[in-house]
A and B are shown apart, each in its own frame.
Chain A
């Protein structure tokens, strides 16, 4: 059972079954790791923000570096108009990053390896960005689909392509994160299985590969969180500064 590389993605109920009407909202292992990630973020950043010393200690330095990192990312991609959305993007980046990183602990559950989680996040971003765009520019936001400097003949085609690419944003955003996490964890599980089945004689090769893969996966965990956040910034930039 445990040798199945997809087994690690199983969601199962922890504790009693909770029903809201006819809907099952039981506490699962996925919920557990969401709670753990959020709590870890809150504890780390609360400790980092508590002391107000001129020379920061390690936790304070960590929180301040993350703050300036995300702030710089937002101001670089979406400009100064995106400042009100800083806290949302910061929370998003930290949530995805911590879920990815907690997933790297052996036997832990990776929240972001589930398409439904990433899709909800991406759909929320998509809807939010679209609403912001229409509030800021009214119907002028539709100009996003009409790039300037395109010959009239090609315009209908381009508009259709633009609309499709705009509508596929939540799918590409969610599938990118989900597929990366799932593929990485499956691969690690497969190579871990090789170590067991080849035993002490031939297990060294997949073991060393597994070690290297762990490093790569930690990099991917960070990178995908960064990509998720920066794509959100880029979509936000489209909505705030309309100059397509």
Chain B
């Protein structure tokens, strides 16, 4: 069936081809010189007008347009470069400012620290001075007291020993001799202590 259809198609194609070319009787109209002059005439007129208008009016405009676009693009690239440089400059400035302010802040911090340290030192010194004074005055008082207490002890010892002797013996002893003895004893004690 398929083969039959294909054969039919080819046969009809061939038949049509033959009839189509059989219908051709006049030959090529291109070789008929009846309108040659007219075609040449109109070709010269239309092509001439086309050529003149394109040359004088349209093509200069297009080339102008292309040129201006080229120059404008170049200009834009230039300005872009300039702006890039400017922005780089500004970035540098900004970084410088930030660096400066950082240094300043550090300085302020250091100054404040120095001040506080000085303050602390001053206060500490003053405090230490006060303390030293107080300690020395207390020590003075103590040493004074100690010195005084030694004499007093001796006196008290002499008195108590005189009283004791009076009670024991019932007789009054010369107080000055007692005092001398006590003093000797105290000296001995002291020496002993020193030796120890």
Contact = CB atoms under 8 A, between A and B. Distances in A.
Interface in B30-75: 30-32, 34-44, 46-47, 49-51, 53-55, 57-59, 61-66, 68-69, 72
Interface string A23-39: 11111101100110110
Given A41-B54, A64-B62, A206 B13 contact: yes
A108 interface: no
Nearest to A29: B35
A70 to B, nearest CB: 10
Nearest to A195: B16
Given A46-B58, A87-B59, A116-B36, A10 B29 contact: yes
Contacts of B64: 52
Interface stretch (B19-27, B79-87, B122-130, B165-173): B19-27
* Interface footprint category on B: 35 or more
A30 B35 CA distance: 9
User: Does more than half of chain A's interface fall in helix, strand or loop, or is it mixed?
Assistant: helix
User: Does more than half of chain B's interface fall in helix, strand or loop, or is it mixed?
Assistant: helix
A148 interface: no
Contact of B49 (A28, A38, A63, A115): A38
Contacts of A50: 61
Contacts of B63: 67
Contacts of B49: 38
B2 interface: no
Contact of B29 (A9, A49, A90): A9
Interface in A141-198: 178, 182, 190, 193-194, 197-198
Contacts of B112: none
B30 A64 contact: no
Residue of A27, A46, A116 ringed by the most chain B CB atoms within 10 A: A116
A193 B27 CA distance: 18
Contacts of B25: 4
B12 A49 contact: no
Contacts of B38: 11, 24-28, 30-31
B22 to A, nearest CB: 10
Nearest to A31: B42
B109 interface: no
B125 to A, nearest CB: 79
B26 to A, nearest CB: 7
27 contacts: A6-B24, A6-B27, A27-B38, A28-B38, A31-B38, A34-B47, A42-B58, A45-B54, A48-B62, A49-B58, A49-B59, A49-B62, A60-B65, A63-B62, A64-B65, A67-B62, A87-B54, A91-B50, A95-B47, A113-B30, A115-B30, A116-B36, A117-B39, A120-B44, A121-B43, A190-B20, A194-B17
Interface of B: 8-9, 12-13, 16-17, 19-20, 23-32, 34-44, 46-47, 49-51, 53-55, 57-59, 61-66, 68-69, 72
